[in-house]
Amino acid sequence: MLTLRTAEGLLGRDTSPIPPAAPDAPFHIVFLDRDGTLNRHRPGYVTRAADLDVLPDAPAAVRQLNDAGCRVVLVTNQRGLATHDLTESQLVEVHQGLVDALAAEGAHLDAIQVCPHGKGTCLCRKPLPGLFEQALARAPWARPERCATLGDQATDLEPAQGLGMRVQQVGEGFASLPEAVRSLLRPPI
Ligand SMILES: [Mg+2]
Ligand SMILES: [Zn+2]
């Protein structure tokens, strides 16, 4: 919320600290994938905010995480930046659109981490754990085993699981994002 007003924040280049979760938050950080998780998956790269089809129930689900005191961090591979199918200014516009769509329903992201690299050229393209590690470096108060990750692909979940997080797949054939959030926030019996 505080860091996402700048292009650098929207491009995932902010390295400033992420403030601690609420003391009674059930999870320190909930990591969310973007395409297929918050917005409908479509072929090719999303290059315009108008093409970012935010799933109707996604903002309310993010707001529930906000209200529960969890920090919410977006982790997204955007290889189009490396292949020049997506420009930085387009990604800024798309992420601003996402932030606005969430804000319209009282929801927000606390940080965005982006892998802008080509395949096999970095340590952060999911399923590598770099994006998660970058966020955790900004949140030294957060313990991975008190974090969770929701995504529509196994490649979202593998790195999170490797770090000891709770994970849940969402999307077609799996729980919807609101269902996954409800199950995360359900108090243990
Ligand atoms: Mg996805
Ligand atoms: Zn990368």
What's 180's domain CATH number? Answer: 3.40.50.1000
For residue range 147-167, what is the model confidence (pLDDT) as tens digits? Answer: 999 999 999 999 999 999 999
Q: Which residues contact 84 (CB under 8 A, 6 or more apart)?
A: none
Domain contains 2? no
Domain contains 30? yes
- pLDDT higher than threshold 60 for residue 1: no
In the set 14, 35, 110, 152, the catalytic residue is 35
Angle at 8 between CA 26 and CA 99, to 5 degrees: 50
The pairing of beta strand 111-115 with beta strand 166-169:
unpaired
Domain contains 1? no
Domain contains 67? yes
Q: How far is the CA of 25 from the centre of ligand 1 (A)?
A: 25
Tally the domains of the chain: 1
Domain holding 19, by residue range, is 7-185
Domain contains 175? yes
Domain contains 79? yes
For residue range 3-31, what is the model confidence (pLDDT) as tens digits? Answer: 587 999 999 999 999 999 999 999 999 99
The ligand placed nearest to the CA atom of residue 46 is 1
Domain contains 167? yes
Please report how many Cα atoms fall inside a 13 Å half-sphere around the Cα of residue 41, on the Cβ side.
Answer: 11
Domain contains 86? yes
pTM summary value: 0.96
Instruction: Tell me whether residue 85 is one of the annotated catalytic residues.
Output: no
Instruction: Tell me whether residue 152 is one of the annotated catalytic residues.
Output: no
